[in-house]
Amino acid sequence: MSKYFTRTFRVRWSEINAVGQVHLSEYFRYVIETAWDWGTTVGISFAESEERGLAWIIHESEINLYRPLYTHDIFELTIWLVDWRRVRGTRCFEIKLKDSGELVAQGVQEVVSLDLKTMRPVITPDYIIDNLRLEDPRVFPHQKFPKFQLRPDTAFLIQRNAEWRDLDSQEHVNNANYVAFAEDAATQALAAVGWSPVSFKALGLFIANKRVHIQYQSSASWGERLDVVTQLVELKPAGGIWHVQIERASDREPVARCLIEWSLANRISAEEQILPDSLSKVLKDKIAIAENISAGSGFAG
């Protein structure tokens, strides 16, 4: 049995955004679904994990997007274990079109095993990990999440409630939904300075996401109000990088933080475009760049 697990998907209409491409958050759902199917093959399905008193949470995800997916695209998602140490492991995944083998995306996730009752880290039995461990696994580069000193005078704030539709079977906001929250916040930040999706469409342009790095810090439950703070952390000739911090409004507890690297693209050809001078200027003036305070770390494009 191969320890590289592959599942085939076909893109559905319901997974497509307003520019005809798969929603950013859907890539994370594909990975989660594949991971559970993978676990089923080695005896740690959702039900079997509950029987053993285990829970699995994703601490961090990083994904590079090389080609968009469109309706009816058939693709394969392959996932495998890179390393596991006591309570924490690293897995990689790759998405390719089924027929042509064209690369769509590659990514890395850090996963933690918890005791289902206490939700505290717990050592995973060796026999489980031995069923997944590879001697010489393929490894993709993984960057440490940088720290930023945000500027309150230029950061963009929205609030949203955790709704019933956002929750998963653990009654917490599903991991993929935080990515959707972050993307929506970045879209609203642009709209607040005069560059809404309608504005981009009128010019035959759209925002193409190229890379996402998200770190989950705590969980949010139904009805909780979340502060979503967005700040530009890098500006490039054809795009930039957003930092989105999600906090619980009641106690300021960090819930998630996310980096989204994006570029401006032609709506028809999807080719990268240089930012119009007016857009570049407003980003510099209205959404001033936050300071990277990480020593020796960054989010390289």
241 with 151, same domain: the answer is yes
Q: What confidence score (pLDDT) does residue 2 get?
A: 65
What's the structural domain count of the chain?
2
What one-character-per-residue DSSP string does 100-145 give? T--EEEEEEEEEEEEETTT--B-PPPHHHHHTT--SS------PPP
Extended strands (E) in 23-115? 54-65, 74-85, 88-97, 103-115
pLDDT, position 291? 62
pLDDT tens sequence across 146-170: 988 877 777 899 999 999 999 998 8
**Percent of the chain at pLDDT above 90?**
75
Q: Please check the confidence at residue 38 and state whether its pLDDT lies above 60.
A: yes
Sequence-distant (6+) residues with CB within 8 A of 160 are: 181, 225, 226, 228
Asked if residue 212 and residue 67 are part of one domain, the reply reads no
Q: What is the mean pLDDT of residues 247-264?
A: 96
Quick one: pLDDT band at residue 123, thresholds 50, 70, 90?
A: very high
- Considering the domain architecture, whether residues 138 and 21 belong to the same structural domain is answered as yes
> Are 95 and 161 within one domain?
no
Separation CA 132–CA 203 (nearest Å): 49
Give the per-residue pLDDT at 93.
98
**Are 24 and 180 within 8 A, CB to CB?**
yes
Q: What is the pLDDT of residues 198-245, one digit of tens each?
A: 999 999 999 999 999 999 999 999 999 999 999 999 999 999 999 999
Residue 119 has pLDDT above 50, yes or no: yes
Q: Rounded distance, CA 56 to CA 114, Å?
A: 6
83, 114, 142 — which closes off a domain? Answer: 142
Same domain flag for 286 and 185: yes
Q: State which residues form the domain around 25.
A: 1-142
User: Residue for token digits 């049995």?
Assistant: 1
Domain co-membership, 136 together with 150: no
Backbone angles phi, psi at 290, to 5 degrees: -75, 155
Query: Do 101 and 237 belong to one domain?
Result: no
- Confidence check: pLDDT of 299 > 60: no
Residues 112 and 153 in one domain: no
Report DSSP state, residue 267: T
Query: In angstroms, how far is CA 46 from the centroid of its own chain?
Result: 22
Angstrom distance (rounded) from CA 215 to CA 213: 7
The mean predicted confidence, pLDDT, of the chain is: 91
The residue-averaged pLDDT of 250-254 equals 95
The residue that leads in pLDDT, 22 or 297, is 22
Whether 145 and 292 have beta carbons less than 8 Å apart is answered as no
Q: Which residue has the higher pLDDT, 186 or 127?
A: 186
> Can you tell me whether residue 38 is helix, strand or coil?
helix
| Residues 293 and 149 grouped into a single domain | yes
